[in-house]
Structures are given as C-alpha cells and as structure tokens.
C-alpha cells in the first residue's frame, strides 16, 4: 500500500464511504427502525450521505494535507461520538437524543448505573471508521503531482452535496408528507433525513421552541381552550365527590408494567399483593391503562398526573419549562384546603424537582434529607422501597389533614439490581440480564406496597384515605425484545410493543365495597380529572386533555408522545393500523380519522408549554387574560358564533 500512489483526495473519499456504510450498518443493527418497503430502505441507505459530503468536504478548503487530514479525522471522531451516544441512549430509552437531554447534566451522576449497563467493551466497533481513516492517513501515499481542487471544482462538489440533500428530502416528503412538521416522531425523522441531519434539525426545533414564549400572547390560547371545552366529559354523578375530604395518597410504581400483574415467572408469582388488589372489594383496577411519557420518564408521568398535559417531544418539561405557570392538581387541591407534598428519597435537584414543584405549587418536598437511611437500606437511586414506605407513613402521621401526598418509589429501576437478602424470587433465565433481574425488583416493589398498607393501618390513616397507584413508564425497553419474546411466548410486533406500554392503575377506597376491574381504555393524562372528580373538585374550567375515566362520556383514545395511539377498536403503531382484538394489520383508512386529532392534541399541548400560555388564563373562572390589543385581534379573527368570555388585563 505504501508503494502505490493514490489520488490527492483519496483520504476524503475513504472517510465519506466508510462513515456512510458504518452509519447504515448501525441503523440496521443497533436501532429498531421499522422499514415497510424498498423505498424506505433506500432512503435509510442514502440519508447519511448529504451531511457527510458537506462536512467532510470542508476539508477541500485546507491547503496543507496535514491540516486536511486532521480535520477529516476530527470529524470522524465527532460523528462517531454522536452516533454511539445515540446507540447507548437508545438501549435504555428506545429513543434518540435531543438537545435538552444534553443539558440535564445534573442527572448524569445519578444515572451512572443505567448508563454503565448500556456500554460494552465491544462497542469499540462503533469507531471503526476512525480506525480505518487513521490507518489510511498513516499508510496511504498520495501522488505528489496531484493538484488541489480548483474553485470551480469545489463549487461543483458542494452543488452535488446539496443535490443529494434535496433528492433525499424529496423522496422523504413523498414517502412521508409533512415530515418536518411532526418533530415528535424522532424515529421517522432519523429514518428519512438521517441521524446527523436530525440533530441539526433538532437544534432548529429547540431554538424555535425557546423563542415561542417571548412571542406568545393570550390569543393563541383561544383556539386551544375552544378545543378543550368541546371535548370535556361530564363527571359520573355516582362517583363525583365519593372520596371528598379524605387524604389522598398517590404512589408512583417505578417502571412497573402491566404484564407483571396476575402473572408468574417460572411458576413464581411476581406481584402477589397487587394481584389480590385487582379482586379487592375496595379497589378499582384498570388493566387497559397506558403510560404516555417521553424522554422525561418518571418526571413526565408526574407532569401528566398533575396537569393533564402531554410532556414535550424533545426533552423533560421539568428541566426546560420549570418556570412556567401551571394549574396543577396540587394547586387545585390546595385551594380546597389540602396540604400538598411529595416524598422521594433522592436528591431534591434530581430531574430539577425542587424548582418544578414550586411552579406546581406543592407545599412541601420531603427529599433524601428527610429520611434516615440505615445500613443495607440504600440503593443506587437513594433508599429501598420498604424502609421508604415505613418512614413515609411516619411523615404522613405528622402532616395536617386532609393532605395530598405523592410517594415516588425507587428500587424497581434500571438496571434492577437487588441485594441478596431482598430477593424473594429467582431470576428469569433469558439472555437479558436486565429482564432477568426485573422480576425480582418488581416483586420487591410489590412487597413494599403491602408494607405501605400495613403501616397506614397501624398509624390510623388507612380508613380516611384514598390510595391511588400507577406505573410511571416502561421498565423493559425494546432493546430486550428477544428476551420478552421468550417470556411471553410470542413475537413482539409494533402492535405488541404498544400493548407493552400498559402500566397498572389502581384506585383503592377503604370501605367502598364495590371494587371491580374497569376495562375502560385510558392513559396517564386521564388521572388528574379522574381523581379531582373523586375528590369532589370540578374541572370544567380547567385546560386539560384528559377525561374522567368514570364518565360515561369518556373517549377511549390514548395518544402516545411519539404519535402512536390506542382506541377501542384500533392500535396505530409503526405507521401501521392494527385491529385491537386480533393484533392483525388492517387497512390504514380505519385509523386515519384519529391521526389528525392525535397530532392536534400533541401540538396544542406543546404550544401551551413552549408559549407558557397558561399565564394568560384564569382557571378560577375560566376566563382569558387578554390585553386590549389582543382583544382587538381576537375580535377580528373570530366569527360571531365563536365568542368567548374574556377579561381585560389589568
């Protein structure tokens, strides 16, 4: 190789080709990107090329070969880091990195165990292009008489790069119309415009969202309020106020998915106490209940519960918009005489909770400093659930009544490690250590819930309380589908993946006596109106996207953060429509009436958050707070039959 002389720009050509092929191979081997036809496969194949032609092509402006080669190698290293970071992130989150995630640096230390679990020594292969380019620079001999690119040749080169980009975008738009208006579907963006272009587009989207607040005005909320008002459901009179005046205890069941309920693993019961609750005379259990979280995971579930708004598509609201105005469940209950609190045995700044809880008007945050963690009681995330429950009930005994308190559990969290003395069942026997350990920590979580009930009874708090429990998000990502197929005994299709987003939802009312399994289809966005109505608090003036699960008018329509959705008859996942009963693919037209409403709800919710629009709304009387200028603008835009009650800004 040293004897043969290569053309002047051989290193550039090698860098482009090797990085291009490596990226495509990683698409196919490290991400679960759904390909439905040959055109989608071709788009996936070519989509890295335009960016690589452009960014590597900048080396043509360097005069010395040494500077050019250093630049090419630096780009190879940076692109490999970007690609590999997404691979490691995807292994746990089944999603791609967004700009706001990179600024959640306060969480990185606490997330260390999960991150380490997603990194393997064989991952050096993701940097194969860096190795190949380095060897090429070292051993390839360039012809000494080779000439540099002339100005006209450089121009032609970048015209080619631009042409490839527009060719890619044209094919993508033909395959997926309005692609760039649906930024919540990151898999679709990566599949069509490529990983590198996706990150450039993400910077644009995030910059745009930051500008929205400064440019927002109250008139933007009018259309949203009309939509929400027209979709409000009347409370069930038999359930409204059923638990009024009782203490409200809401338990977040960390990473617990519904496939563990009333199920076993190698003959061992996974959740015996929760199983009993599904048949308890004082418990209403919802088996068709789905999480709707995004990248914010547990914090997103809290956001959904408190506000009945969808989380953001590109980051955690707790980080990006903690200074917004919200109309939280805690604030509403506080106005009705409740003392509100959250109990979580972790650092107060984790997921920026200390700042966000102030915006949610939560009276008290009992963080890790409020707990005494004895020997053997700590886990990577803070405190084990059983001693956490014991001490949390001790806190409750000191709270003024009535109180609303939320408990955030920790032990059943990825990577699901548990001390030997806490293991109550054996591991599973798949090729996934994550899934194998998951059953043990889920069993421990179940035991901690039993301890909670026992402690409440001992403290005399049980009878006058209502206990709500819900799973916050998935625990087993799509990266472990092969192991899940072994456990479930069936293929994990996009339909089954959607079904695996079910999380348990329990409402336990001591003395109720009419407990049952409620088959209503719902999601976390429905928790707030359901609980508020149980507590006797009206929500008809609130801007919320969920509905009361007990209402006869409740619409069985669950929208996931990535645009998938569930209805009574259909499941829309992987851009495919399925029959909800059989799981069989059906004609796309069956799902089409719901695609636009799903997109509309996500867009409206995102607008509320990015524009901080609730600052223009008085939730006490359901009136807009508009300036005179905004009133004039509104009067011009609205038709006579679209009048809305407004109040001028003082």
Nearest C-alpha neighbor of 256 from the set 469, 499, 471:
471
Q: What is the DSSP code string of 476-537?
A: S-GGGHHHHHHHHTS---HHHHHHTTB--EEEE-TT----EE----EEGGGHHHHHHHHTT-
Q: Which of 298, 434, 530, 539 is catalytic?
A: 298
Determine which helix (DSSP H) or strand (DSSP E) holds 366, and give its type and residue range: strand 364-366
Q: Which tokens belong to 311?
A: 């989380």
- CA distances to 240, 423, 482, 485, 533 from 489, in Å: 42, 25, 10, 5, 40
Determine which helix (DSSP H) or strand (DSSP E) holds 191, and give its type and residue range: helix 186-193
Q: Which tokens belong to 344?
A: 């979580």
Q: What is the DSSP code string of 434-462?
A: HHHHHHHHHHHHHHHHHHHHHHHHHTT-S
Tell me whether residue 162 is one of the annotated catalytic residues: no
- CA distances to 313, 399, 566, 595 from 575, in Å: 18, 49, 13, 10
Cα of first residue to Cα of last residue in the chain, in angstroms, is 79
Q: Which tokens belong to 304?
A: 């959904």
Tell me how far apart the alpha carbons of residues 39 and 37 are, in angstroms, rounded to a whole number: 6
CA 216 to the chain's CA centroid = 25
In three-state secondary structure terms, 623 is: strand
Q: Which tokens belong to 41?
A: 């496969």
Tell me how far apart the alpha carbons of residues 563 and 598 are, in angstroms, rounded to a whole number: 7
Q: Which tokens belong to 444?
A: 């421990």
Tell me how far apart the alpha carbons of residues 528 and 83 are, in angstroms, rounded to a whole number: 39
Determine which helix (DSSP H) or strand (DSSP E) holds 560, and give its type and residue range: none
Tell me how far apart the alpha carbons of residues 213 and 610 are, in angstroms, rounded to a whole number: 6
Tell me how far apart the alpha carbons of residues 527 and 375 are, in angstroms, rounded to a whole number: 37
Tell me how far apart the alpha carbons of residues 638 and 357 are, in angstroms, rounded to a whole number: 37
User: Omega of the bond prior to 21 within 30 degrees of 0, cis?
Assistant: no
Active site residues: 298
């Amino acid at each position: 190789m040293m004897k043969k002389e290569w053309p002047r720009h051989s290193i550039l050509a090698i860098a482009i080709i090797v990085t291009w092929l490596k990226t495509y191979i990683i698409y196919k081997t490290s991400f679960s990107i759904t390909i439905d036809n040959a055109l989608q496969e071709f788009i996936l194949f070519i989509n890295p090329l335009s960016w690589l032609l452009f960014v590597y092509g900048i080396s043509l402006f360097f005069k010395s070969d040494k500077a050019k080669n250093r630049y090419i190698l630096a780009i190879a290293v940076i692109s490999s880091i970007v690609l590999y970071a997404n691979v490691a992130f995807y292994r746990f989150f089944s999603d791609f990195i967004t700009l706001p995630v990179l600024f959640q640096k306060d969480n990185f230390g606490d997330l260390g165990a999960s991150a380490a679990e997603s990194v393997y020594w064989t991952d050096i292969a993701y940097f194969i292009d860096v190795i190949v380019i380095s060897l090429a620079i070292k051993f390839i001999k360039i012809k000494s008489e080779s000439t540099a690119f002339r100005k006209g040749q450089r121009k032609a080169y970048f015209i080619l790069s631009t042409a490839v980009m527009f060719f890619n975008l044209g094919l993508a738009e033909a395959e997926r119309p309005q692609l760039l208006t649906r930024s919540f579907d990151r898999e679709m963006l990566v599949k069509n415009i490529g990983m590198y272009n996706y990150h450039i587009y993400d910077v644009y989207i995030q910059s745009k969202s930051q500008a929205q607040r400064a440019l927002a005005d109250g008139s933007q909320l009018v259309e949203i309020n009309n939509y929400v008002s027209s979709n409000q459901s009347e409370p069930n009179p038999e359930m409204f106020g059923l638990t009024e005046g009782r203490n409200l205890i809401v338990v977040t069941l960390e990473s617990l998915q519904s496939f563990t309920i009333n199920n076993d693993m190698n003959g061992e019961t996974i959740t015996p106490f929760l199983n009993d609750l599904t048949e308890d005379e004082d418990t209403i259990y919802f088996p068709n209940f789905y999480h709707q979280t995004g990248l914010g995971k547990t914090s997103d579930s809290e956001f959904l519960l408190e506000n009945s708004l969808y989380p953001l598509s590109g980051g955690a609201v707790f980080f990006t918009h903690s200074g917004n105005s919200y109309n939280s469940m805690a604030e509403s209950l506080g106005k009705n005489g409740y003392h509100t609190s959250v109990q979580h045995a972790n650092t107060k700044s984790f997921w920026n909770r200390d700042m966000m809880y102030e915006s949610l008007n939560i009276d008290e945050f009992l963080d890790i400093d409020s707990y005494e963690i004895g020997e053997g009681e700590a886990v990577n995330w803070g405190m084990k659930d059983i001693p956490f429950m014991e001490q949390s009930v001790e806190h409750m005994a000191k709270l003024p009544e009535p109180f609303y308190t939320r408990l955030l559990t920790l032990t059943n969290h990825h990577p699901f490690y548990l001390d030997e003395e806490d293991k109550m069942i054996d591991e599973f026997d798949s090729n996934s250590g994550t899934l194998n350990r998951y059953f043990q920590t889920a069993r421990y979580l179940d035991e901690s819930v039993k301890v909670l009930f026992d402690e409440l009874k001992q403290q005399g708090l049980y009878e006058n309380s209502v206990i709500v429990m819900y799973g916050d998000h998935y625990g087993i990502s799509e990266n472990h589908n092969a192991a899940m197929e072994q456990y479930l005994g069936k293929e994990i299709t996009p339909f089954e993946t959607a079904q695996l987003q079910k999380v348990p939802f329990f409402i336990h009312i001591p003395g109720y006596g009419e407990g049952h399994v409620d088959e209503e289809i719902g999601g976390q966005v429905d928790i707030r109106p359901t609980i508020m109505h149980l507590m006797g608090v009206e929500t008809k003036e609130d801007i919320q996207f969920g509905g009361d699960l007990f209402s006869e008018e409740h619409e069985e329509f669950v929208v996931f953060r990535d645009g998938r959705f569930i209805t009574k008859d259909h499941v829309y996942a992987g851009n495919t429509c399925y029959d909800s009963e059989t799981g069989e693919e059906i004609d796309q037209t069956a799902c089409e009436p719901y695609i636009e409403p799903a997109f509309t709800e996500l867009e409206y919710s995102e607008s509320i958050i990015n524009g901080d629009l609730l600052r223009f709304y008085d939730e006490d009387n359901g009136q807009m707070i508009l300036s005179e200028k905004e009133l004039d603008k509104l009067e011009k835009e609205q038709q006579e039959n679209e009048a809305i009650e407004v109040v001028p800004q003082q």
